[in-house]
């Protein structure tokens, strides 16, 4: 599972994103995967711990998936006009399609094209991710909870389905459970990164929930909204926790090493949720993270087959 993500700092739009520079020299497959793993380890908090319980070829594939998603997400969130970001995402999609046809450019697409072929992965989840990133590039907001869940179906759930595909898991109950976990992890990231998202002009809290707790979006940071914001975050965390519970069964559908990975990811997400609820409105001042002892505890419990 891919989430929680570390939010990128606002920056200029990369000229090529994951497509790489068309003029650059070809890169070896070994080096391409090394680049992807460096990106994954830098940006994904749960990758260094959980990924070590995957076999090397699957870990390589997962790193390529994460690197592609990260770089495309960077383009969607760049400090550039919306139309420029949308054009860049169109270029990424075209480069992705060329990579699948045998002409990958740059290390990320070189690794990803190999992973797709090696593990017979469908292109559809990658295209779903890009469509969600286009929503980001349009600075989409969400009127209802269902609208937000629909966004997560494109921004988060495809990665979980790709992880299951690496193991040949295709049965509908496992896919539905995976979707619930991935959506929960994405939502956890939204509550965790509320301050950073506001800084870059994004708000993932549904408008209907803001209205329910009497908070105007433009007044979220004001002291008068602190009590309502704490109650709102508690509400969102409870709903997110329900999704974790609904998806927990995916660990029983997974083989041993993947099950450890999934238990660690779920436990990490739940631990962040608890910290968000504890901090309440103070998430605007301090981003909730997991301490080293918490990570060790999560790892040991995942190894023991226990859920938090």
Q: What does the pLDDT profile of the chain (308 residues) look like in tens digits? A: 333 333 333 345 554 445 554 445 688 999 999 999 998 887 665 454 456 667 889 989 999 999 999 999 999 988 889 999 999 999 999 999 999 999 999 999 999 999 999 999 999 999 999 999 999 999 889 999 999 999 999 999 999 999 999 999 999 999 999 999 999 999 999 999 999 999 988 999 999 999 999 999 999 999 999 999 999 999 999 999 999 999 999 999 999 888 988 998 899 999 999 999 999 999 999 999 988 888 888 888 888 877 77
Per-residue pLDDT, 26: 80
Report how far residue 162's alpha carbon sits from residue 116's, in angstroms, rounded to the nearest whole number: 10
Q: How many CB atoms lie within 10 A of CB 114?
A: 19
Instruction: Note the Cα 186 to chain centre separation in Å.
Output: 6
Report how far residue 23's alpha carbon sits from residue 105's, in angstroms, rounded to the nearest whole number: 9
Domains 1-130 and 141-308 share a fold: yes
Per-residue pLDDT, 102: 95
* CB proximity list for 25: less than 8 A, separation 6 or greater: none
Contact 126, 82 (CB under 8 A): no
Task: Please write down the long-range contacts of 146-155, taking CB distance under 8 Å and 24 or more positions apart.
Answer: 147/206, 148/187, 148/204, 148/206, 149/183, 152/182, 152/183, 152/186, 152/187, 153/128, 153/179, 153/183, 154/128, 154/129, 155/129, 155/186
Q: Which of 243, 234, 210, 240 is nearest to 282 (CA)?
A: 234
272-to-126, 190, 262, 268, 295 alpha-carbon distances in Å: 27, 11, 15, 6, 11
Is residue 29 exposed (0-12), middle (13-18) or buried (19+ Cβ within 10 Å)? middle
3-state secondary structure of 76: helix
Residue range 55-107, pLDDT digits in tens: 889 989 999 999 999 999 999 988 889 999 999 999 999 999 999 999 999 99
Per-residue pLDDT, 77: 86
Contact 53, 128 (CB under 8 A): no
152-to-8, 107, 131 alpha-carbon distances in Å: 18, 27, 11
| CA angle (101, 170, 252) in 5-degree steps | 135
Contact 262, 250 (CB under 8 A): yes
CATH 3.60.21.10, domain 1-130, yes or no? no
Contact 252, 274 (CB under 8 A): no
Integer distance in angstroms from the first to the last C-alpha of the chain? 17
Q: Count CA within 13 A, CB hemisphere, residue 105.
A: 17
Per-residue pLDDT, 95: 96
CATH entry, 141-308, from 1.10.3720.10, 3.40.190.10, 3.40.50.12780, 1.10.600.10: 1.10.600.10
Contact 302, 263 (CB under 8 A): yes
Q: Where are the domains of the chain?
A: 1-130, 141-308
Per-residue pLDDT, 7: 34
Per-residue pLDDT, 44: 60
Per-residue pLDDT, 298: 87
């Amino acid at each position: 599972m891919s989430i929680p993500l570390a939010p990128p700092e606002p920056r200029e739009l990369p000229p090529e994103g994951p497509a790489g520079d068309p003029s650059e020299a070809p890169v070896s497959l070994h080096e391409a995967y090394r680049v992807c793993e460096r990106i994954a380890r830098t940006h994904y908090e749960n990758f260094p711990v959980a990924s070590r319980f995957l076999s090397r070829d699957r870990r390589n594939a997962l790193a390529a998936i994460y690197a592609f998603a990260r770089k495309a997400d960077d383009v969607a969130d760049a400090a550039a006009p919306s139309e420029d970001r949308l054009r860049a995402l169109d270029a990424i999609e075209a480069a992705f399609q060329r990579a699948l046809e045998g002409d990958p450019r740059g290390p990320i697409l070189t690794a990803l094209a190999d992973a797709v072929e090696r593990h017979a992965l469908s292109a559809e989840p990658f295209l779903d991710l890009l469509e969600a990133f286009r929503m980001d590039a349009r600075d989409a907001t969400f009127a209802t909870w269902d609208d937000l869940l629909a966004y997560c179906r494109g921004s988060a759930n495809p990665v979980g389905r790709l992880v299951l595909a690496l193991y040949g898991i295709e049965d509908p109950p496992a896919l539905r459970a995976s979707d619930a976990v991935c959506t929960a992890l994405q939502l956890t990231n939204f509550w965790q990164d509320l301050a950073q998202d506001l800084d870059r002009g994004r708000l993932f809290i549904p408008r209907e929930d803001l209205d329910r707790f009497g908070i105007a979006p433009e007044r979220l940071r004001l002291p008068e909204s602190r009590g309502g914001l704490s109650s709102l975050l508690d509400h969102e965390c409870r709903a997110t926790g329900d999704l974790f519970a609904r998806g927990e069964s995916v660990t029983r559908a997974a083989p041993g090493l993947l099950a450890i990975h999934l238990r660690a990811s779920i436990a990490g997400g739940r631990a962040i949720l608890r910290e968000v609820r504890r901090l309440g409105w103070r998430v605007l001042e301090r981003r909730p993270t997991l301490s080293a002892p918490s990570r060790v505890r999560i790892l040991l419990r995942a190894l023991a087959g226990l859920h938090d």
